[in-house]
Structure 1
Amino acid sequence: MDTFLTCTMVFLMLLASFNLFVGVSNDAVNFLSSALGSKSARYNIVMGVAAAGVLLGCTFSSGMMEIARSGIFNPQLFTYWDVMLIFFAVMLTDVLLLDTFNSLGLPTSTTVSIVFELLGASVVSAAYKLWVSTGTIIGLGAYINNEKALSIIIGILASVVIAFTFGTIIQWLMRYLFTFRYQKVYRYVGGIYSGLCLTAIFYFLIVKGAKGASFMTPALIAWLDANTETLMWSFFLTITVVFQILIWFWNFNALRIVILAGTFALAFAFAGNDLVNFVGVPLAAMQSAGIAASAEAANPALTPTTLYMGALKESVVTPTIWLIISGLIMVCTLWFSPKAQRVVQTAINLSASERSEKEQFGSTVGARVLVRSGLGVNRIINQILPRSVLDNIDRHFEKPRLKKGEVPLPFDQVRASVNLVLASILIATATSMKLPLSTTYVTFMVAMGSSLADGAWDRETAVYRISGVMAVISGWFLTAFTAFIAAGIAVLLCIWFGPIFMVIGGVCVVALLVRSNFFSKDKKVEAMEGFEAGLSKEELRKRFNAAIDRNLKQTIDIFSNTTMNFLSEDYSAVKKDKLEAQELLDHISLLRSQYYLMISHGQGAGKDYDARNYYYRTFSNVKDVAQDLRNTVNQMEQHLANSH
């Protein structure tokens, strides 16, 4: 019908590959952090299980694709040209937005971004159509699928409360039952617990999710519905008996199986629910092109501006081959994306039971208020409950002391299993209802709730963890606002400038993505300055000396450059020097705290305590020098800013 629109459709399909790469980098945290944080299996095994879950889960996502076609706007009121401009603007905005958040290492919601991009683009497009034709925007609501859009937004917001509340309550109950020395209780109830977890996973993923699979027949779905109860009881009893026997006679660790199954389930649920966020719009564009081609064959007089797309409201089964191709791209991203690894580390740090070398987020006023309020509530509860009840709870939540040289895990296998099973159940339930729930919202808030119940937010770390949660949630709301505005502006530019803007915008987006993902210098991992366990005395001393020399030299260089720039009154250069001075201070603080943690856990240069003390004091002095440098550069920057 229109060669340019056909080329646009092809471009959107290519952009979908980039979107999968960017989106999976962001959402890998959803199903990898629990298994990796508890170290339940080797990295390659966890990745292999997650990859299998993603690949299979993609085939169950066919029913979700209608969200992009007609879930946000009413396509019967938009022409072929209108919907293609909307889809182009949405994809342009989506890829850039997610890539920005990933580069910052901050998890965000791909569901929030795609929903509000579709909403923003369709609202602006409809408003423009009404304004041009009638001079007002009265009747704008008819163009938007208000009921479905509202249910999606309410579901996303409600998922925060539901996930956090259930995560806190269930983890508290499981911890009270198992305690932190869970091996004793686990020997008697491990089979039942594992059976319940695996049965729940099987029910919500396979039985409830089967209706959305692209290969399921109506007869098979009817058989599952008729035999659900028999299947569930048979599965539960078999798993429970087999696992309990293995635990009693061979000390089998069924929690590892539960965690790996949960990883598979969450990856499966993620792919089933979130694939629409990445490829739903390009597939909708492809189906629109197919509808246009059929309509043109039946009526050659139709044009892109006269053909209305009511056919997009019809239920269509997405070809399985497209879903499998999408799954393969997602699997490759999991294995090879460094951005995915950085986002995973963010979530592990926020839910860790021990304070890390350097908290990833600083304290904020809101976090301090919440911490003080929480301490006040805790004091009231302690006054109300009998001392015997409090002592009983304390015994169940008492953490064992670490052995000398033992490195603490971010969280244990009990919490990891709760995180995975609960999150996968909530997401799979939403998928069966064709509701695009935010997997990031659910998994992140379940993890935060379980870590709170586990006492991971102690007085030393609570303010930083709460600040982190507030920062991430704020990022989600910022995503919604930015997505709505940016997509609206993009579609308006498409309407005004047509193919010229679309070509220029497409080229710029591809160039930025290639530069960001393949040619940018990623954040360096200072391997030669790391003080990990297992190094010899000589190797440790070499690294200590090299780190001290390197950081002192960098301090001198920054001071020298800043002085020259200050004397020449180069304000922009001094501002860059200010950032470098702050980064240097942060880096030295990280090295100092890392070394402190190493020696506090009994690691380092044997019994050479004098050497340990010497190097620790040396790092303290280097940090003091860096602080003085930072303060001096700040004063120089303020002097130039005030034009003294």
Structure 2
Amino acid sequence: MDIFFWVVLGFLALLAVIDLFVGVSNDAVNFLNSAVGSRIAPFKVILTVAGVGVLLGATFSGGMMGIARSGVFHPAMFSFSDVIAIYFAVMVTDVILLNAFNRMGLPTSTTVSIVFELLGAGAGMAANRLIGMGEGLSALGDYLNSGKAFGMISAILVSVVVAFVAGALVQWVTRLVFSFRYDLIFRKLGGIYGGFSLAMIFYFLVMKGAKGASFMTPEVLEFFRVNGSMVVLGIFVVCSILLQIGMMLFHLNVFRLVILAGTFALAFAFAGNDLVNFVGVPIAALDAAHIFEAAGGADPSGFMMGGLAEAIPAPGLLLLLSGVVMVATLFLSKSARKVIETSVNLSASSNGTREKFGATPLGRAVVRGSMALGDLIHAFVPAGIQRGINRRFEPKVFEKGEEALPFDYIRASLNLIVSAILIASATSLKLPLSTTYVTFMVAMGSSFADRAWDRETAVYRVSGVITVISGWFVTAFSAFIAAAVMVSIVNLGGFAAYLVLMALVLFIIFKTNVKSSREKEMDREVVALSGPDGIRTKLEKSIPANFGRSADLFALTVDSFLSDNLPGLKKAVNLASEQRDRISDDRALYYAMPADTEGYDSADSKYFYYRSCTGMKEAASSLIRTVSLARDHVANRHRIFSGDLATELQAVAHDLVALKQPLEKAVRHGDKSEFQLKLHALNERIDRIQETVLGDREHFGLSLRGAELYMNFLQFLREILGRYTVVTGLESRLTGREKTERAAGPSRAAAG
């Protein structure tokens, strides 16, 4: 075989390792969400349990590997060089797409990605071949296993609805039985609940999740097929008795056992069911190389790959190595924790903190429609029944100092059980069901039934779910198109195209996975903001810097506007948006500050920090509005200010920039005299300009639209001056408190 093909195979092996890292970062949420959200055990313990499940699942995997070889396209219709090009395009597309979603912190479906990439690459190569032979695309279906592919896709789409409804229904019934104050009744029924849960997990893990494993011989499968019901019933009875005894005599935490067992089972199934998404393509490419090598000197462009349709055992060593990489990713990946945070936040019961997603029109419409439907149902349900149901769903009242979990043990365990049953059913049908779809939608359904989506959070949670699901559809479309384009580029460009795409994908991987300097800076700042001293130091740097950037951007806006420079105004809008995002990131550090900071005024210090960042963010938002109005004015080709209007506007912009140094001196050295003097002078000048312009608008030749824009410029100046006057005052109060504390320290010690 030509050395070129070995180079491509080596690159695919490298991408397989990267894809494992990226894919596990994305899919770790599937089996860690419930355990992390319920905080049933320390995070490292949860990772260890999941890691063992992943390693065993990967080692015994192999039943699904045939999907990459012949599950989506007919390999007998393609030559060896065609198949290598298809697999190369699929892997390049897959790594780039999953990197993009991980950077956004969105859980997406690796199953959808790989299926649509194989479908797109196969269709692209077939289209190229048909066009090259002068034939129409009507024969495209002969090259693709479209029936099986769309069967898998249909199952995935149906699972969205089924998983949400199942999660909501099971959670609602269970909560009706146990309520949020489940301690008393659980002492009586906990053994039965745990026994049922473990029986379902066993059914999922052994009879379905491991069905394709090497140790599941035909004899073992036949035994379970005949005696499966009795085995599950026996496990239920035995576990129920043992768990009830353990609760009564040893205070056994049944939930910990159930949730950790469910985590292990889902991790095992994930590795067995989804490993094909990460290494199935490179292994299929290796199988193709072995088949081609066995032919002995065949033409790569003429040797057809019908041998890939045969059953080929997966190499056990490669599966084991894949499991090791997956386990390492669980412990090392920052992206995995970011995706887990997204899923946990969307299904959390608590509210009052930042929501990850903003409200969308569709989200608002869904919430309004759901509320209207709820009102209709309430009209037909007797009031007494409603009161009884509502009492079962009253949230637990936490005592002082007791921390509320994102969701409790009941919901965490049910998320695992329902997900396990649904995934088990799909696996038994040989469908590579998306574990992301199932586990995510079950979690959303159970949180909905648990009334975690109240009027304060519902629109954000619904919008978040819509955003994530939309991302899945975008994944499918993008994967199909991108893979088809990639395979066409390779087919037309040959060796040079391979090299260019190799360099491109390595560059993208490096850029998207190396932590930015801003992220590193924020990580350091979270550690530094552990008390009043750290907060004061942070504000001393950020207040002058943010004011300076805003003043410079306003000056840029004025100059670009007066010179009728639309590109300059578009640039100013982007820079202003980045400025606000930067301040938003700084304010978000408030939520990461330790709750037990030392110092008697630590709570006040954090409060001052939050108010200061809020003031700066509002000033930045006002700047965005002002710059956007100026941009639209120029884009619509309205008249630009001239004469005295332009001169005065430039002058006040210059005066705002001139405030940078006095403000920095006021914040860092406590000398406010120059700042207050120039601030007062600028405010008076703004008043004078406004009075003059409004007093004789026609004299300046201003239309109503032009006058409104001019007043918006002046209003922004008032806004930023007012906001930063308050911010500098807050910083002064914080500094004054700390000086008092440090001065009082020795005397207090002496008095003690």
Normalised TM-score (structure 1): 0.92
Please state if 1:305 is matched with 2:281: no
CA distance in 2, matches of 1:130, 1:515: 38
| Corresponding position of 1:285 | 285
Deviating more after overlay: 215-224 vs 263-272: 215-224
Unaligned 5+ segments in structure 1 are none
Instruction: Find 2:380's aligned residue among 366, 384, 403.
Output: 384
Is the contact made by 1:588 and 1:623 (CA closer than 8 Å) also made in structure 2?
A: no
Matched residue SS, 2:137: coil
| Corresponding position of 1:357 | 353
C-alpha deviation, 1:640, in angstroms: 5.0
The amino acid across from 1:583 in the alignment is D
| Corresponding position of 2:626 | 635
| Corresponding position of 1:178 | 178
CA distance in 1, matches of 2:203, 2:521: 42
The amino acid across from 2:278 in the alignment is F
The amino acid across from 2:82 in the alignment is D
C-alpha deviation, 1:19, in angstroms: 0.6
CA distance in 2, matches of 1:110, 1:625: 40
- Deviation readout 1:73-104 (Å, 9 max, x if unpaired): 11111111111111000001000010011011
| Corresponding position of 1:372 | 368
| Corresponding position of 2:164 | 164
| Corresponding position of 2:3 | 3
Matched residue SS, 2:272: helix
CA distance in 2, matches of 1:303, 1:309: 12
Is the contact made by 1:73 and 1:144 (CA closer than 8 Å) also made in structure 2?
A: yes
Is the contact made by 2:210 and 2:269 (CA closer than 8 Å) also made in structure 1?
A: no
CA distance in 2, matches of 1:525, 1:118: 40
Residues 588/627 of structure 1: CA separation in 2 closer, same or farther (3 Å cut): farther
| Corresponding position of 1:250 | 250
Is the contact made by 2:247 and 2:254 (CA closer than 8 Å) also made in structure 1?
A: yes
C-alpha deviation, 1:9, in angstroms: 1.8
Residues 618/430 of structure 1: CA separation in 2 closer, same or farther (3 Å cut): closer
Is the contact made by 1:214 and 1:320 (CA closer than 8 Å) also made in structure 2?
A: no
C-alpha deviation, 1:468, in angstroms: 0.3
| Corresponding position of 2:231 | 231
Residues 512/615 of structure 1: CA separation in 2 closer, same or farther (3 Å cut): closer
Residues 522/410 of structure 1: CA separation in 2 closer, same or farther (3 Å cut): farther
| Corresponding position of 1:39 | 39
Instruction: Find 1:452's aligned residue among 448, 453, 461.
Output: 448
Please state if 1:56 is matched with 2:89: no
The amino acid across from 2:154 in the alignment is I
- Counting matched residue pairs gives 628
| Corresponding position of 1:221 | 221
Is the contact made by 1:15 and 1:91 (CA closer than 8 Å) also made in structure 2?
A: yes
| Corresponding position of 1:344 | 340
CA distance in 2, matches of 1:618, 1:308: 67
Please state if 1:463 is matched with 2:459: yes
CA distance in 2, matches of 1:531, 1:44: 21
| Corresponding position of 1:586 | 584
Is the contact made by 1:75 and 1:309 (CA closer than 8 Å) also made in structure 2?
A: yes
C-alpha deviation, 1:579, in angstroms: 2.4
C-alpha deviation, 1:637, in angstroms: 5.2
Deviating more after overlay: 353-362 vs 325-334: 353-362
Please state if 1:65 is matched with 2:65: yes
The amino acid across from 1:578 in the alignment is A
CA distance in 2, matches of 1:307, 1:426: 42
Instruction: Find 2:505's aligned residue among 509, 512, 519.
Output: 509
| Percent identity (aligned) | 44
Deviating more after overlay: 22-31 vs 556-565: 556-565
Is the contact made by 1:561 and 1:577 (CA closer than 8 Å) also made in structure 2?
A: no
TM alignment of 1:434-445, pairs within 5 A: 434-445=430-441
CA distance in 2, matches of 1:614, 1:76: 70
C-alpha deviation, 1:142, in angstroms: 1.2
Matched residue SS, 1:305: coil
Matched residue SS, 1:63: coil
Residues 475/638 of structure 1: CA separation in 2 closer, same or farther (3 Å cut): same
Is the contact made by 2:41 and 2:256 (CA closer than 8 Å) also made in structure 1?
A: yes
Instruction: Find 2:489's aligned residue among 490, 493, 502.
Output: 493
C-alpha deviation, 1:577, in angstroms: 2.5
| Corresponding position of 1:427 | 423
Deviating more after overlay: 542-551 vs 102-111: 542-551
Instruction: Find 2:533's aligned residue among 527, 542, 554.
Output: 542
Is the contact made by 2:38 and 2:412 (CA closer than 8 Å) also made in structure 1?
A: yes
| Corresponding position of 1:397 | 393
The amino acid across from 1:552 in the alignment is I
Residues 527/311 of structure 1: CA separation in 2 closer, same or farther (3 Å cut): closer
Matched residue SS, 1:306: coil
| Corresponding position of 1:553 | 544
CA distance in 1, matches of 2:139, 2:388: 63
C-alpha deviation, 1:606, in angstroms: 9.5
C-alpha deviation, 1:424, in angstroms: 2.1
| Corresponding position of 1:103 | 103
| Corresponding position of 1:406 | 402
C-alpha deviation, 1:605, in angstroms: 8.1
Is the contact made by 2:171 and 2:450 (CA closer than 8 Å) also made in structure 1?
A: yes
| Corresponding position of 2:15 | 15
CA distance in 1, matches of 2:417, 2:16: 30
Residues 582/183 of structure 1: CA separation in 2 closer, same or farther (3 Å cut): same
C-alpha deviation, 1:592, in angstroms: 6.3
Is the contact made by 1:79 and 1:306 (CA closer than 8 Å) also made in structure 2?
A: yes
- Deviation readout 1:44-89 (Å, 9 max, x if unpaired): 1000000011111113431101111111111111111111111000
Computing the radius of gyration from Cα coordinates, the structure with the larger value is 2
C-alpha deviation, 1:415, in angstroms: 0.4
Residues 128/283 of structure 1: CA separation in 2 closer, same or farther (3 Å cut): same
Residues 360/525 of structure 1: CA separation in 2 closer, same or farther (3 Å cut): farther
Is the contact made by 1:199 and 1:235 (CA closer than 8 Å) also made in structure 2?
A: yes
The amino acid across from 2:611 in the alignment is S
The amino acid across from 1:473 in the alignment is I
Residues 168/435 of structure 1: CA separation in 2 closer, same or farther (3 Å cut): same
Residues 552/112 of structure 1: CA separation in 2 closer, same or farther (3 Å cut): same
Deviating more after overlay: 174-183 vs 620-629: 620-629
Matched residue SS, 2:299: coil
Higher relative contact order (CA 8 A, sep 6+): 1
Residues 612/56 of structure 1: CA separation in 2 closer, same or farther (3 Å cut): closer
Is the contact made by 2:110 and 2:277 (CA closer than 8 Å) also made in structure 1?
A: yes
TM alignment of 1:88-237, pairs within 5 A: 88-237=88-237
C-alpha deviation, 1:558, in angstroms: 1.6
C-alpha deviation, 1:564, in angstroms: 5.1
The amino acid across from 1:586 in the alignment is S
- Deviation readout 1:86-135 (Å, 9 max, x if unpaired): 10000010000100110111111111111111111111111121122133
Deviating more after overlay: 253-262 vs 505-514: 505-514
Unaligned 5+ segments in structure 2 are 561-567, 641-752
- Deviation readout 1:304-344 (Å, 9 max, x if unpaired): 11111111111122122111111110000110011111111
The amino acid across from 1:43 in the alignment is F
Residues 606/55 of structure 1: CA separation in 2 closer, same or farther (3 Å cut): same
C-alpha deviation, 1:4, in angstroms: 1.4
C-alpha deviation, 1:231, in angstroms: 2.8
Please state if 1:315 is matched with 2:306: no
CA distance in 2, matches of 1:418, 1:57: 22
Residues 471/345 of structure 1: CA separation in 2 closer, same or farther (3 Å cut): same
CA distance in 1, matches of 2:475, 2:58: 25
